[in-house]
Chain A
Amino acid sequence: MSNTVLSLRGVTKRFGGLVAVNAMDFDVTEHQVMGLIGPNGSGKSTTLNLISGALKVSGGEISLRGTPITALPAEQINRRGIARTFQLVRLLPSMSVLENVVAGAVFGHKRRWGQDARRHAETLLARVGLEGKGHLRVGQLTYIDTKRVELARVLASDPKLLLLDEWLAGLNPSELQIGITLIKSLRDEGRTIILVEHVMDAIRSLCDTCVVMASGTKIAQGTPQQVLSDPDVIRAYLGDDDV
């Protein structure tokens, strides 16, 4: 398919004797929001780490628009257009909010510098709802605002593919609605996104397609409605007795 952004073929990760990710296959097409879901320890975050280059694969191939990126270091993968957030928000504590976003704009996929990078960062801060907060230190921000800064930073390089690692985790109910609306607006812009997520409401309302993992293996793939009614998926989440 010509509009495939990312494809995984037989991607495997072993930590010693433990197979954390076992022969994963899936494609993400352009403008698609794909949910990567599954119980804790099923290998979702490991898969994300393999795609972003934080971990090296033990076998299989990952390609971005047909070009293999399997063996590339993380910074090369970022420069080719894959940007990620982290499960535990990672901001740059010595810098202002604006500088945190500029950091994403200077070295990544689309490179900007000086006034251009600052203006771009300001636009993105407004985009995620932090207009006028650029001068703040990151320590002064609320939890959801730290998540917004991180999101603005990964958007700053104009990535072809966005990896969001439990971006909605830890938000309170009203923040969650704000968060879902924000991610939805990214989807409406036509961005291609993989999100690792536990929040079922978010999965239902955001994802075009889902890959469900359990014990490192893909057990189901399809629309949220399809996979969430799949007996294998229910068994993986809740155990045998509840099916």
Chain B
Amino acid sequence: MTGTDIRNLILSAIALGICALLPLSGSGYWLSIGVTIAMFTVLATSWALFSGPTHYISLATAAFFGVGTYVTGLGFETLPFWSLIGIAGVIGAVLAALVGLATLRLSGVYFVIFTLGLAELVRQVITWFQNKSGQKGLYVLTDISEAGIYWMLLSLATAVFLTGWLIGRSRLGFALRIIGDDETVAVHSGINSALSKVLLFMVPGSVAAMTGAILAPRYVYIEPSLAFAPMLSFQVVIMALLGGAGRLWGPLVGVIPFTLLWESISSNFPQQTTLLLGVAFLIIVYALPRGFVGLLDDLRHRTRARMAEGVA
């Protein structure tokens, strides 16, 4: 570890400590926003771990998330809550591996469509299953408080950042960057690209399922249309791209402003949220193709170039 690494680690630990104090503020409103921000930080950061380097846009977040909520919904009465999070993580990873094996050989567009279809498929299967058994949804009545959910999400976020940091320094992370730049070069440099992609795709799959498992008690009542809402997948993509999927901390930069913006849009324009989401998406793609992180990099380059000119 270099000096910069240690400094970043200490700064992150302090930031985390401050974030962990939020529930003590006593404000239910800010705690609820905090939960949403923590949730999207976890989802968008883990999403970018895979999609950042590979440029494969996955819309499967809702599928994994929904599976996680159902793990809690079906198991909370018989198993301890922490074990449900673990089970959700394993199921999410296995599901991601299966999806990855089936689709990651496909080129970009087909992969996007398939992942979008996956959430719908799982939702339909569960709906069909529930209709057969005569229920509409599941009640998740636990004594887990909003603050408890917040702290669990914060721990998960810490785990995601540490995982991302480790992957970034690993051979796997380097392999993924090469694959994202040029897959032909990757395979002719000895990289098993299919295996590398599947392995890394399991990370967001597992994390999204764990996030769903943690959040299920917040919903109290879950049903397929809520648990597998495709909107979630799109929100995650937009937030990650807004921040910048090329850096580990990039999505976080997108999550915070977007969550606050989303809060005010959905409370002031409840009928037009989807429309405004679409507009936001267009603006990001056209104006900020590499997100806030890319914008910062450009500014830094420009300032440096101007300073160099000044010297010359």
Query: Which residues of A are at the interface with B, using a C-beta cutoff of 8 A?
Result: 52-54, 73-75, 78-79, 83-84, 86, 90-95, 102-104, 106-109, 113, 153, 157
Contact = CB atoms under 8 A, between A and B. Distances in A.
Interface of B: 171, 174-175, 177-178, 180-182, 184-193
Contacts of A92: 177-178, 181-182, 185
B2 to A, nearest CB: 12
Contact of B184 (A54, A106, A108, A109): A54
Given A73-B192, A93-B181, A157-B190, 9 more contacts: A52-B188, A75-B188, A75-B192, A78-B187, A83-B188, A92-B182, A94-B180, A153-B185, A153-B189
Residue among A75, A94, A157 having the largest count of chain B Cβ atoms under 10 Å = A75
Contacts of B192: 73, 75
B9 to A, nearest CB: 19
Contacts of B185: 86, 90-92, 103, 153
A93 B178 CA distance: 9
Q: Which of B174, B175, B193 has the most CB of A within 10 A?
A: B174
Contacts of B187: 53, 73-75, 78
A55 to B, nearest CB: 12
A108 B181 contact: no
Chain A interface secondary structure, helix, strand, loop or mixed?
loop
The residue among A73, A91, A94 with the most chain B CB atoms within 10 A of its own CB is: A94
28 contacts: A54-B184, A54-B188, A73-B192, A74-B187, A74-B188, A75-B186, A75-B187, A75-B192, A78-B188, A78-B189, A83-B189, A90-B182, A90-B185, A91-B185, A92-B178, A92-B181, A94-B177, A94-B180, A94-B181, A103-B185, A103-B189, A104-B189, A106-B171, A106-B175, A107-B190, A113-B171, A153-B185, A153-B189
Contacts of A94: 177, 180-181
A2 B180 CA distance: 41
A95 B177 contact: yes
A102 B192 CA distance: 17
A73 to B, nearest CB: 7
A145 B309 CA distance: 26
A109 B188 contact: no
A86 to B, nearest CB: 8
Contacts of B189: 75, 78, 83, 103-104, 106-108, 153, 157
A102 B190 CA distance: 12
Given A90-B185, A103-B185, A109 B190 contact: yes
